[in-house]
Amino acid sequence: QQKRQKEIQKFQNSLQEGQQVVTGGGIYGTVKSIDLTKNTVDVKIARDVVITVDKSYVFKDMANTPLTK
């Protein structure tokens, strides 16, 4: 479990704009911006819809999954 937690933390620290991700709430989207001072990520989830989530709730990179191909 600690190994998995370290992998997630490493992923969260390497987030980049344009990356396709899924949040802890199961919302799929694309990273639009990252605010390191507030520890938040703006995620575009639909056309003209951007949500702000805590960086610790972004769990997966969805770039190489069947849903995003």
Question: For residue range 46-69, what is the model confidence (pLDDT) as tens digits?
Answer: 999 999 999 888 877 766 565 544
Cβ(19)–Cβ(31) under 8 Å? yes
Q: Is the pTM of this model over 0.85?
A: no
Contact assessment for residue 25 and residue 57, using Cβ atoms and an 8 Å cutoff: yes
- Tell me the one-letter amino acid at 40: T
Cβ proximity of 20 and 29 under 8 Å: yes
Closest CA to 55 of 33, 47, 4, 63: 33
pLDDT of amino acid 28: 92
Contact 55, 12 (CB under 8 A): yes
